[in-house]
Structure 1
Amino acid sequence: MCTLGNLIWLLVGGLTMSLVWMLVSILAFVSIVGIPWARACWTISDFAFTPFGKEIISRRDLTLKRDIGTSVLGSVGNAIWFIFAGFWLALGHAVSGALCCLTVIGIPFGIQHFKLAELAVAPIGKTIVSNELAHAAREANAKSALAQLRSEA
């Protein structure tokens, strides 16, 4: 099912937006100061090419560790990113998502565009993993949080 979804996705804006992400990645790399964002853009372009079967998750939720991308510096990096590229990428995905949602068949593709729009706003501190891995990480985090709440009570 993921394969069929990804094939149709390429026709409803996925290929175009993936190429846009690649272009932004190349521009960020060439600018030298944008190198920290270039690798993230390249990874997101792969996700924008075939999003079905994958999910966006915070690295902190996945690893249970803070890193530079999930700290205050990550928030500053996301603010800088939003000003220079994030707004335009998010706008492209939001418009594509709205167009996809005009038909019932296009709603799943519109939802994927909206997920990518959210990622375009603040990509630092996020990673892309399989649906199964994201679900397992969230389930393990929920069990850990529940155990902690029960021990406090």
Structure 2
Amino acid sequence: MRFLLNVIWLVLCGIWMAIGYAVAGVVCCILIVTIPFGIASFRIAAYALWPFGRTVIRQPTAGFWSALGNVIWVVVAGIWLALGHVVTGLLLCLTIIGIPLGVANFKMIPVALLPLGRQIVRIDEVGVVGPR
């Protein structure tokens, strides 16, 4: 079922979201100072391509710099990305077939809002992943 949902997601909205996040990642990497944001954008792009069967967990070892980076991210891009996921999720939930896709959009809000200090893992690995 996850595979089928991922394929539908990829065709309907995942590819466009991933391209958007990848373009943002390239721009951030070109600007040198914002390379951590670029890396986060590439991680989110991969997550946007294939979200079903994956989840976001917090890295307990993330420290002050991740928190500071997240504050900057929220002000510059995070709030707009999260708002975009909310609106898209609500629109997708208007149809029965779109409900799982809308839920996937809602699932992406935390990582779009605060990407630094988070890790995207397969659901199978959630119990295995811990502090490193």
Compute the TM-score of the two structures, normalised by the length of structure 1: 0.78
Runs of 4+ in 1 over 6 A off after TM superposition: none
In the alignment, the residues of structure 1 paired with residue 23 and residue 40 of structure 2 have an alpha-carbon distance, to the nearest angstrom, of 12
- How many residue pairs are counted as aligned between the two chains? 130
Structure having the larger proportion of residues in helix: 1
Native 8 Å contact 1:13 1:96 kept in 2: no
- Alignment partner for residue 78 of structure 2, among 86, 90, 96? 86
Q: Secondary structure at the match of 2:17?
A: helix
Q: Which has the larger radius of gyration?
A: 1
Q: Check if 1:122 corresponds to 2:114.
A: yes
Tell me the alpha carbon deviations over residues 39-73 of structure 1, each in whole angstroms, 9 at most, x when there is no partner. 1110110110011111111122xxxxx2xxx2232
Which residue of structure 1 aligns with residue 91 of structure 2?
99
In the alignment, the residues of structure 1 paired with residue 87 and residue 14 of structure 2 have an alpha-carbon distance, to the nearest angstrom, of 13
Q: How does 1:132-151 map to 2 (within 5 A)?
A: 132-134=124-126, 136-137=127-128
> How big is the shift at 1:32?
1.0
Which residue of structure 1 aligns with residue 17 of structure 2?
17
In the alignment, the residues of structure 2 paired with residue 128 and residue 48 of structure 1 have an alpha-carbon distance, to the nearest angstrom, of 11
Among all aligned residue pairs of Structure 1 and Structure 2, give the percentage whose two residues are the same amino acid.
38
Tell me the alpha carbon deviations over residues 4-49 of structure 1, each in whole angstroms, 9 at most, x when there is no partner. 1111102332221111110110111011111011111101101100
Q: What letter matches 1:84 in structure 2?
A: V
Runs (5+) with no aligned partner, structure 2: none
Runs (5+) with no aligned partner, structure 1: 61-65, 141-153
Compute the TM-score of the two structures, normalised by the length of structure 2: 0.90
Which has the bigger relative contact order, CA under 8 A and spacing at least 6? 2
Q: How does 1:12-91 map to 2 (within 5 A)?
A: 12-60=12-60, 66=61, 70-91=62-83
Q: What letter matches 2:104 in structure 1?
A: Q
Native 8 Å contact 1:25 1:39 kept in 2: yes
In the alignment, the residues of structure 2 paired with residue 51 and residue 23 of structure 1 have an alpha-carbon distance, to the nearest angstrom, of 19
